[in-house]
Chain A
Amino acid sequence: MKLSGWGRYPVIDSLPEFPVGDECVMKLIEAHGSGPLIGRGLGRSYGDSALAPTAVHSAYLDYFRYFDKQTGILRCAAGVSLASVLELIVPEGWFLPVTPGTKYVTVGGAVASDVHGKNHHIDGCFSEFVQSITIATANGIVECSKTSNAELFCATCGGMGLTGFILEVEIRLKRISSSFIQATTIKTKNIAETVEALDIHRSATYSVAWIDCLSTGKGLGRSLIMLGEHADDGGLQTGCKARLSVPFDVPGLFLNGVTMQAFNSVYYHRVTKAKSRSLVSYEPYFYPLDGVRNWNRLYGSDGFLQYQFVIPRKAGIEGLTVILNRLAASKRGSFLAVLKLFGEENSNYLSFPMEGYTLALDLKRSPEVFALLDELDDVVVGLGGRIYLAKDARMSKSIFQASYPGWESFSQLRRQWGADNIFNSIQSIRLGL
């Protein structure tokens, strides 16, 4: 079966396995003694991190185990999607403590990528709220947490499924009294203003900036900053299904420098006031793209590359200016360029966030884009930053090793647990893990 990530590049031949229980997963691991196999959830990682000759899908491992409505402790199988979790918990007055920009990821995937949200500067990554994980390792089923098998826990959170197949996860939820978000949009004129505004508003629970990455000169880095706080009332509602869908691959011609620039400009000028407030449901606020099913088809059949990097705080405005200038000069902008201020990094071996600025871009795939991103890699790593593994499809081994200092200990731990011979993705092989 042909298989790819959400960016639809690369595409490989992969044998799909759909285990229906924990025992089936262990049998698969034993049967595929030398791998390579990798766990796979909803396939929303962009690149090749969930691609392997054998992909173990978690689609039928989607059971809730328990949910304590008083304490907000939820335990479920790894294949449960964040969408299903929200549907269950929101009406009871609970929310995901950390959520990525789509609810169509599995809980197992959220752990494996140690996802972050718009509140990273305050709350950190998803793993912060994980109480324990059950993993099918090469040596059997193992339970781990911050206190027991702590090293395996730190390697598994952000470990891209390379320590074993995640079976169950227990998380600590966040109390809410409303499913609505009090959103504030601030319009900035350039990168300096953007960075300053993010900094001024760093006590806001949620904050993120959408950057017009094709604007040059004085307007370089002009943005719409979206702040958010959980509202106090408005009710506890869920259930916005995707109303729009992209039924086929949009021809490549559609996305070019002109349409991209027009879109970015319109999007920026849509907001007329310097500061505006509105009350919105959590779904459009956190998951704007979930409203359009198969939006990845907008980039045509060639697919696209997501590029998300982080640079340390001290590299700040100068670093971002260098990168934005290169992007604007290449005219290969992105429909969505998202900038965010990260808080402190955690101690997980391969977790992506570090204190500083992160920027995420979508770029239509072309040979020139690979060259551009290779150049940007050098700039990012030169500034002391790194690239997000859940979005990567092309980073070189040397760039990876230079930017993830925990990689050697991670590899060692993988050997210790016998994972190196079995659990491998196309990405892990490329990165030499």
Chain B
Amino acid sequence: MNNVLIIGATSAIATAVARIYAKRGDSLYLLARDESRLLKITDDLRVRGASEVYSARFDAQEFSSHESVLDRVFSLMKQVDVVILAHGTLPDQEACQSSVEVTLREIEVNALSSVSVLTHLANSLEKQGSGTLAAITSVAGDRGRKSNYVYGSAKAMVSVFLAGLRHRLFGKGVNVLDVRPGFVDTPMTKAFDKGPLWAQPESVAEGMVAAIDRGKAVVYLPFFWAWIMRIVRNLPSFLFLRTSL
């Protein structure tokens, strides 16, 4: 039985991940901002077989609260085997372009808050000497594109930060996983027309748990995004700049 901490637990992918662990009979600690939804998810995971489900309110933008919230998790669970970072927003690129304020707020939610949380978590897991630290970033972080570079650059920062943590914690018993999903059909993306590249949160969650189980470093979900992004990253600038990506 594992102890699993999920930050941003009300997101669609996080909920799907939590259900997989619940079915395995694991213990879960959920952190999220929306308390009424958190309560429903807690009930749901208990019904699905989780041995214990704890939850607490967590606001990514209240940086000063991060340390105490996470300390409480570690003192209650004693040992944390898996941590999943799933909080975040999908910024409106046009709104960001016309407002520095909006841009910085999105960077704060999607990058700086993760940096803060990851720093605390890395220290705790290093002390513990075991565990997996998995964060959901995005394929959007692989190359800046006009359609969503605010989101992409925030996610890119988290990806590089994770790479650094992986290097630092190598040999300390802690694995760091960077999960890069492509398009996922969630409430966050409900306004988009869905094509064949879109995945369901359940299948992304399955891929994520499998990557955690296998101790992987970086995983693209579904797998074909690794190939798509290889092309996008390597497209020469004179061509890339002419695309409408």
Contact = CB atoms under 8 A, between A and B. Distances in A.
A371 B138 CA distance: 54
B41 interface: yes
Q: Which label, helix, strand, loop or mixed, suits the secondary structure of the B interface?
A: helix
B190 interface: yes
Contacts of B193: 1
B47 A64 contact: yes
Interface string B177-196: 00000000001001001000
B40 A21 contact: yes
Interface residues of B, number: 15
Contacts of B43: 63-66
Interface in A1-55: 1, 16, 18, 20-21, 23
A16 to B, nearest CB: 7
A18 B44 contact: no
Contacts of A1: 193
B40 A65 contact: yes
Interface string B53-78: 00000000000000000000000000
Nearest to B37: A21
A64 B40 CA distance: 8
B40 A23 contact: no
A60 B187 CA distance: 8
A70 B36 CA distance: 28
Nearest to A65: B43
Contacts of A65: 40, 43-44, 47
B128 to A, nearest CB: 32
A60 B48 contact: no
A88 B190 contact: no
Interface in B120-176: none
B66 to A, nearest CB: 24
B48 A88 contact: yes
A18 B190 contact: yes
Contact of B36 (A23, A60, A64): A23
Contacts of B34: 21
A60 B10 CA distance: 11
A67 B190 contact: no
B36 A21 contact: yes
Contacts of A60: 12, 187
Interface in B1-30: 10, 12
Contacts of A20: 10, 37, 187
A11 to B, nearest CB: 16
Given A1-B193, A20-B37, A63 B187 contact: no
A64 B37 CA distance: 12
B57 to A, nearest CB: 15
Contacts of A21: 34, 36-37, 40
Nearest to A22: B36
B69 to A, nearest CB: 22
A64 B187 contact: no
Given A20-B37, A21-B40, A66 B47 contact: yes
Contacts of B46: 66
A65 B10 CA distance: 16
Nearest to B10: A20
B198 to A, nearest CB: 13
A381 B10 CA distance: 50
B241 to A, nearest CB: 32
Contacts of B47: 64-67, 88
Interface string A148-163: 0000000000000000
Contacts of A18: 187, 190
Contact of B190 (A16, A23, A77): A16
A64 B12 contact: no
Nearest to B40: A63
A63 B47 CA distance: 9
Contacts of B190: 16, 18
Contacts of B12: 60
Nearest to B11: A20
B36 A63 contact: no
A107 to B, nearest CB: 13
B99 to A, nearest CB: 26
A60 to B, nearest CB: 6
Interface string A280-310: 0000000000000000000000000000000
B34 to A, nearest CB: 8
Contact of B48 (A16, A23, A64, A77): A64
Nearest to A16: B190
A66 B41 CA distance: 11
Interface in A49-101: 60, 63-67, 77, 88
B56 to A, nearest CB: 18
A77 B44 CA distance: 10
B37 to A, nearest CB: 5
Contacts of B10: 20
16 contacts: A18-B187, A18-B190, A20-B10, A20-B37, A20-B187, A21-B36, A21-B37, A21-B40, A63-B40, A63-B41, A63-B43, A66-B43, A67-B47, A77-B40, A88-B47, A88-B48
Closest 9 CB pairs of A and B: A64-B47, A63-B44, A63-B40, A67-B47, A64-B44, A18-B190, A21-B37, A20-B187, A65-B43
Interface of B: 10, 12, 34, 36-37, 40-41, 43-44, 46-48, 187, 190, 193
Given A21-B40, A66-B46, A66-B47, 10 more contacts: A20-B10, A23-B36, A63-B40, A63-B43, A63-B44, A64-B43, A64-B48, A65-B44, A77-B40, A88-B48
